[in-house]
């Protein structure tokens, strides 16, 4: 059965932890659904993880829609959130609603997510929610605000900034967000926000008290090694395994060990082979 926001709210009420991972392609999403992951974020982190950029800024709506469609094909029953990329919602409420609608209409996402809590972002959350689209807030460490925040740094590490985050979470919830993702904040701040919230609070690097946990899949399976945040736990070493496989393949091709025509090639019956040889002789 396809997961809905009601299932996620029920999990919070029953104190069941929500599992949440990013995915950007069909195959990864398929394995995640098979593993029982509750939610998938098609994050604009795809800019760094799959497109090789050094930030999320260059990612376009078309990049996100193509990836979200593939993820939906791989995970038809999982709750999928489309992450609104840089400049897809900053210009106006109309632009935000139109692009949020594309995630739902063209890609089959269940909800969208947008970063920040400026007065304009609060209006965007309200406009998207008013349009009947489920919207998740994203607070704390905000990759699309890296310039203002001085880079990819944990947030809420002083009493004043921690209090600001509590206020932001309240504002985003009041604006109509159906959930909030908290990124890169101390565990104590994650705990206080979670205890006060009336919507699910998901955390990535926000401690153990949030209603659910998100990780970037390529970090937790050991594929993305350009940079690994402190909060990432490695559950597999797929990068090393890929390297081992690619190196073994190169070695086999170069040495003539692959393909072995007795096992890795198509065969022809003895009778057809004989006819083929006769034809070649008479050519
Ligand atoms: O794009 C993304 O994957 C995200 C997470 C880092 C929270 O927004």
Compute the CA torsion angle 243, 56, 68, 169 (nearest 10 deg).
120
DSSP 207-273: -S-SSEEEE-HHHHTT---S---TT------HHHHHHHHHHHHHHHHHHT-S--TTTSS----HHHH
Ligand 1 pocket check for 200: Cβ under 6 Å: no
Q: Which residues are catalytic?
A: 183
31 in the Ramachandran plot: left (φ > 0), alpha (ψ -120 to 50) or beta?
alpha
In the chain, the N- to C-terminal Cα span, in Å, equals: 63
Ligand 1 pocket check for 183: Cβ under 6 Å: yes
Which atom of ligand 1 is least distant from the CA of 204?
7
Question: Coil, helix or strand for 91?
Answer: coil
Encode 32-45: b = buried (16+ Cβ within 10 Å), e = exposed.
bbeeebbbbbbbbb
Which atom of ligand 1 is least distant from the CA of 56?
1
| Each residue's pLDDT expressed in tens, for the chain with a length of 283 residues | 999 999 999 999 999 999 999 999 999 999 999 999 999 999 999 999 999 999 999 999 999 999 999 999 999 999 999 999 999 999 999 999 999 999 999 999 999 999 999 999 999 999 999 999 999 999 999 988 888 887 788 989 999 999 999 999 999 999 999 999 999 999 999 999 999 999 999 999 999 999 999 999 999 999 999 988 999 999 999 999 999 999 999 999 999 999 999 999 999 999 999 999 999 999 8
Nearest CA to ligand 1 atom 1: 43
Expressed in angstroms and rounded, the spacing between residue 45 Cα and the centre of ligand 1 is 5
Ligand 1 pocket check for 144: Cβ under 6 Å: no
Which atom of ligand 1 is least distant from the CA of 41?
3
Sign of the Cα pseudo-torsion (215, 216, 222, 228, in order): negative
Ligand 1 pocket check for 41: Cβ under 6 Å: yes
Expressed in angstroms and rounded, the spacing between residue 159 Cα and the centre of ligand 1 is 25
């Amino acid at each position: 059965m396809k997961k809905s926001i009601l299932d996620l709210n029920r999990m919070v009420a029953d104190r069941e932890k929500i599992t949440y991972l990013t995915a950007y392609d069909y195959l990864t999403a398929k394995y995640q659904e098979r593993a029982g992951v509750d939610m998938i974020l098609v994050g604009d982190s795809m800019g760094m993880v799959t497109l090789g950029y050094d930030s999320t800024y260059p990612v376009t709506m078309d990049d996100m829609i193509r990836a979200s469609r593939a993820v939906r094909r791989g995970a038809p029953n999982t709750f999928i959130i489309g992450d609104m990329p840089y400049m897809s919602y900053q210009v106006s409420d109309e632009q935000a609603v139109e692009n949020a609608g594309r995630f739902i209409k063209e890609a089959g996402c269940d909800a969208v997510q947008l970063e920040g809590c400026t007065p304009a972002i609060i209006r965007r959350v309200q406009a998207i929610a008013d349009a009947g689209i489920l919207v998740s807030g994203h607070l704390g460490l905000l990759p699309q605000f890296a310039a203002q925040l001085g880079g990819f740094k944990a947030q809420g590490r002083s009493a004043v900034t921690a209090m600001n985050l509590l206020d932001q979470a309240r504002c985003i919830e009041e604006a109509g967000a159906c959930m909030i993702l908290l990124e890169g904040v101390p565990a104590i701040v994650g705990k206080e926000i979670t205890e006060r919230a009336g919507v699910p609070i998901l955390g990535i690097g926000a401690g153990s008290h949030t209603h659910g946990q998100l990780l970037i899949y390529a970090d937790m399976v050991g594929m993305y090694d350009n940079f690994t945040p402190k909060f990432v736990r490695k559950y597999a070493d797929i990068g090393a395994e890929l390297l081992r496989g690619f190196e073994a393949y190169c070695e086999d091709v170069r040495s003539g060990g692959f393909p072995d025509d007795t096992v890795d090639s198509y065969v022809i019956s003895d009778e057809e082979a004989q006819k083929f040889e006769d034809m070649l002789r008479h050519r």
